[in-house]
Amino acid sequence: MEFPMSDQALPAPEMGEPYLLTPGPLTTAFSTRQAMLRDWGSWDGDFRAMTRMLCDQLVAMAGDREGAFACVPMQGSGSFAVEAMLGSFVPRDGKVLVLANGAYGLRAAETMRYLGRAHTVIDKGDYMPPRGDEVGAALDADPEITHVFVVQCETSSGILNPVAEISEAVYARGRKLLVDSMSAFGALELDVSRIRYEAMVSSANKCIEGVPGFGFVIARTEALEAAQGNSHSLALDVHAQWAAMQKTGQWRYTPPTHVVAAFLEALRLHAAEGGVAGRGARYTRNRDVMVAGMRALGFETLLKDRWLSPIIVTFFCPADPNFDFPRFYAAMKARGFIIYPGKLTVVDSFRIGCIGQLDEHVMRRVVSAAGEALAEMGVDSAAPPDAAIAERARLAA
Ligand SMILES: *Cc1c(COP(=O)(O)O)cnc(C)c1O
C-alpha cells in the first residue's frame, strides 16, 4: 500500500477508507495522522516541551483557573488510566462505591476486585441512570465508603449520567468523586468550577480525536500529593508519574512519542473548532441529524431524548425477520461506514457513534446507507420488537 504523502487535509474516508462510527479509535483528521511522520527523542527538550503543552492545555480544558489541578498522562489505553486512578487515589484502606450502568462501570468494579480493595456496586443494569438521591442513601448507609466512581457517558449504551447531581450528593456527605470521562471529555462539560471531583480520566482517542496510545488523569494537586504510596503498581502509579514529570519534565517510561505529536495537532484542531463548546455542538448536530433520519426509517433509540448523549446512540434491531445484523454491518461497511454492535443483554441492538472527524453531511449519508441496507435485506419496517419497547418503558421518565 502506498503511503499517502499528500499535505492536503483530506480525511481518510476521502481516500477510500471507511468512516469509523465507533467511539474510539475513531476517524481522525489527516493532519493528525500526518503529525506522526516524525521521530522524537523522549528525553529531548523539544519533546518535554510537547508534554508540558499537552498537560497545560488539558488542565485548561477542564476549566481550572486557580492552578488547583494537574494533568498526568499515562501510557496505555483508557482502561490503564482508570486502573491507575483507582489504585492511586483510593487509599489501601479506602472503600469505593462504583456506580455501574453498563460495561465500563462494571469494568471499574472488576478493577477494584483485582486491586483487592474494598468496594460496593450500585448496578443499574444495562442503561438506567444512577441518581443523586440513591447515591446519597447508599453513602448514608455505609460510612466506610470514601470514594464514589461514576462514568460520565456510559459508552456501552450512550447514556449521559447525571454527574452534577451525583457530585453534590457525594460532597454533601464529605466523600470524594472519581470520574471516568473517557468518552465525554473534550465534548461535554466537566468544568471543575461547576462540578466538584478529585480526579477524572480520559484518553487520546475519544473526543479530542487523537490516535490511541495514552490516557490522562486530571486531578487536584492536593489529591495527587495525598496519593503517594497508595498504588499497587509501579507502572500505574499516578503520583510517581506526576512527581517524576514535575522533576524532569519526562514520562517515567517510554512515552508514545508519535501519539503525543498527533494529540497536539488534535488539540490545535479542537481549539480551532471552538473548544469544548464547538466540538460538543458539532457532535450534537451529528446526533440530531442521524437520530432524526434513523427514526424516519422506523428505527427506535434505546434511550429517551433526555438521556441521549451526543457521543454514541443505541438503536434496537428491527423485529422484521429479514433483518440480520451481520448482513446490515456488511452492507454499511460496503458503503463506507463501520458501525458498532450493541451491548444490551435483553434485546438485540447496535450503536452508531457521533464522534470523530465527521459532520452532519456524513451523518445524512449514514442514514441513506442504512435505508439502502434495509432495502437490500428486504426489511420493510425497521420497527423494533414489542419486547424492546417494553424494556425501554422501564426507563424512568
Ligand atoms: C473507551 C472507554 C474506556 C476505556 O477503554 P479502552 O478500551 O481501555 O480505551 C473506559 N471508559 C469509557 C466510558 C470508555 O468509553
Q: Where in the chain is the domain with CATH 3.90.1150.10?
A: 12-28+275-396
Q: What does pTM read for this prediction?
A: 0.95
Please report, to the nearest 10 degrees, the dihedral formed by the alpha carbons of residues 61, 104, 171, 201 taken in order: -30
Instruction: Check whether 13 has a pLDDT greater than 80.
Output: no
Q: Is 120 in the pocket of ligand 1 (CB under 6 A)?
A: no
Q: Is 102 in the pocket of ligand 1 (CB under 6 A)?
A: no
2.40.50.140, 3.20.20.140, 1.25.40.10, 3.90.1150.10: CATH of 12-28+275-396: 3.90.1150.10
Query: Looking at per-residue confidence, does 95 or 344 come out higher?
Result: 95
What kind of fold does domain 30-271 have according to CATH?
Aspartate Aminotransferase; domain 2 (3.40.640)
Give the per-residue pLDDT at 7.
40
What pLDDT band is residue 394 in, cutting at 50, 70 and 90?
Answer: confident
Mutate to test the pocket of ligand 1, among 150, 153, 180, 182 (most ligand atoms within 8 A of CB): 182
Instruction: Check whether 28 has a pLDDT greater than 60.
Output: yes
Alpha helices in the chain (DSSP H): 30-34, 45-61, 78-89, 103-115, 132-141, 163-172, 221-226, 238-248, 257-272, 275-296, 325-334, 360-377, 386-393
State pLDDT tens for residues 303-360.
999 999 999 999 999 999 999 999 999 999 999 999 999 988 788 999 999 999 999 9
Q: Where in the chain is the domain with CATH 3.40.640.10?
A: 30-271
128 C-alpha to center of ligand 1: Å? 19
Q: Is 214 in the pocket of ligand 1 (CB under 6 A)?
A: no
Q: Is 181 in the pocket of ligand 1 (CB under 6 A)?
A: no
Binding-site residues for substrate, in ranges, read 351
Q: Is 23 in the pocket of ligand 1 (CB under 6 A)?
A: yes
> What's the DSSP call for residue 301?
B
Give the per-residue pLDDT at 382.
95
